[in-house]
Amino acid sequence: MKTAVVKVKIKSREALENKMNEIDLEFEPMVWQHDRVYLPRGFKSGNNMPRMIMRTEMKAVDRPPKYELILKRHIEDSGIDVVNRVIVSDYVAAVNIIHQLGFELKSEVSRRRQILPIGEDTRMCLDKVDRVAGYYLKLETKLKDEDKISEVMDDLARTLMVFGQDPRSQVEQPYFALM
């Protein structure tokens, strides 16, 4: 699946929530996510190399966690992410496979995330990342084959403005690079 993503650091969570209340929108309940980020040996930023993420997600303390393996490749010159996801039933076996493929643990990122679906293919995420100051607002949309990336990115920028955010203050780095 191909996605387009725009992420900004918000100045005020309260202002964002006030704006959402004005247009009668509300985030889904908060989930806790913990990502173990693996990079291939010899990883160099800007070379369109993949990263693998083992994600643990907890929706409630009385429910079992969900484990997901995510393969993500950011295509630098296009602004597109190519993402493949699979639910994992055996966490330890999946991590062993990652290591055998030549990936090394680079970072661990924990966050509290709230999601707001916007239409069928777009969602907004409000993230509070442990050990990183402030909140981040992330818009991501699934791309169709006929989509023009420049038009999609313009739509995402306009959506950010509706919520009082400046699309020119985009954060390009993944969360693990901000730590």
Domains along the sequence of the chain with CATH: 2-178 (2.40.320.10)
pLDDT tens, position by position, 35-71: 999 999 988 777 778 999 999 999 998 999 999 999 9
Structure letter (DSSP) for residue 47? S
Q: Residue 79: is its pLDDT beyond 80? A: no
pTM of the entire predicted model: 0.90
pLDDT tens, position by position, 8-34: 999 999 999 999 999 899 999 999 999
Give the residues across from 122 on adjacent strands. 118, 141
Q: Distance between CA 140 and CA 135 in Å, rounded?
A: 16
Mean residue pLDDT of the chain comes to 92
Q: Give 127: exposed, middle or buried? Use CB within 10 Å, 0-12, 13-18, 19+.
A: buried
